[in-house]
Structure 1
């Protein structure tokens, strides 16, 4: 069944886009700070820990970018094909704002097809 694009679904997509963008910005800044701080640190153990953190954050940014791209495509084309996939990605990779957006996606009301109107007067006469 179709979901009404306007309203809760559009709000959910917007929140997922905002949450993913904020998370990408924060992780990007953290990666830059960690890379700069590696030059200052002298201990090999601490450098290894920082490199591990940089690699982890870089890997975590990739699915967040995928979430951002899919939500942007859904919003641009005004489709609801990837409803559940976006909700799951929003919950996992969208920060707190993305979780709220994913909940909006999942509770968005679906359009019910309008049933044909029957005219009872014609049935009685026949």
Structure 2
């Protein structure tokens, strides 16, 4: 079963339409792609991709009477790994900035010193 779904361009608010299978679950529409997500164009086989990359007003998906801004925006589908939904906003890996020590760097002023102090 196919449905026509409407999405707002996050840059200008123009409405884009996409006819797609109803089983696909939308995660988000953003002005940027999610790290690690693979996007297809509306004319490609986006059902096997992680989402769709639109170009507002240039890819033929705008509703009649809408004018686009020419900026790309991204529809991301819900994605699962090992049976769990992936949160695209979580970093793929964590970086430890210090090894349990306090902050390093220059120290602040140490009280009155310098020219004119005794």
In which range does the TM-score fall when normalised by the shorter chain?
under 0.3
Q: Which has the higher strand share?
A: 2
Q: TM-score, normalised by structure 1?
A: 0.23
- Ranked by relative contact order (alpha carbons within 8 Å, sequence separation 6 or more), the top structure is 1
